[in-house]
Amino acid sequence: MDMVRRKGSEVPNSKVISGATVLDSTALGWQDLALAEWQGVPPQEAYEKELAKHLIVIHTTPQPVRVFERADNFRTEGVAHAGDVNLLSSGEEAFCRWDQPLSFIRLELSPSYLRELAQRIDYPRPDQLQVIHSFHARDMRILQITRWLLEELRNGGIGGKLFADSLVHLLAVHLLRYYTGLSVRQLPPVSFAQARQPVARAIEYMHANLDQPLSLKEVGEAAHISPSHLLRIFKRATGSSLHQFLIRLRVNRARELLLAGNASIADVAAEVGFADQSHLTRHFKRLMGTTPKKILHDLK
């Protein structure tokens, strides 16, 4: 198994899930969405260094299961309940560990499909489109669309390609409306006085701990409010999810260190909390429009 070094330790580039799927959409030839259902998967770790597609995971284990999850060095630990929804963007790191048999549904949506749909509805900067990741969300629309997709899968695709395509389209539109930042404009404003202190404390804490794998719980404690309340006011106050804001802080700090000219790209990546040099480069290019290597080259 390929390995990537991080701060003196080794972690795998990927750990595939060990266990058989109950259902898999591969045979139906769906072009833009892959769906698989897993039941009673033994305790283990699953890891992907860089997701190829946007990912939706729906927990379906009847009883609560304690899980540890991480996405792009932002981590959370808690109890997953049936119906909880996780969303992660293509290109993100994804890690999950569980210590009891786990059942779930996994949907993978093509980034190019979501991008093309965004272009058709005049989404701002569709070339930089990302799904705002979320852990343990409760979303009845995603659950209902997934139920329809599962029924179609269990029936062998009896509804035909047009029916499946319409469900994928419905899911993609929902993601664009509620999980890519478009919905920020629809939210009621939060006054500066309401958001100033907790958001400022959260940002200050993130600034001081950029090299650490921060958890939402830790940032919430530093802001002196609950994690759920922090997420709500942070996005309304800044126009960005807390996770994406953290990524931008890390990239900005990396740029400062690179311009100082005293460290390698790998050392800078570790200093600001990225898993490795390629992890830094991916986000740096997306946000800065150039690469760390080009920054160092221009200094010579």
Residue range 189-213: average pLDDT?
73
b/e code 138-147 from CB counts within 10 Å (16+ = b): ebeebeebbe
Q: Which residue has the higher pLDDT, 18 or 156?
A: 156
Domain spanning 192-299: which superfamily?
Homeodomain-like (1.10.10.60)
Q: What ranges do the domains of the chain cover? A: 3-185, 192-299
87-134 residue pLDDT tens: 988 888 889 999 999 999 999 999 999 988 888 877 767 776 778 778
CATH class of 3-185: mainly beta
- Rounded to whole angstroms, how far apart are CA atoms 90 and 23? 23
C-alpha distances out from residue 52 to 55, 90, 91, 110, Å: 9, 5, 6, 8
Domains 3-185 and 192-299 share a fold: no
- Read off the pLDDT of residues 158-180 as tens digits, 9 standing for 90 and up: 877 888 888 999 999 888 887 87
3-17 pLDDT per residue, tens: 333 333 444 566 778
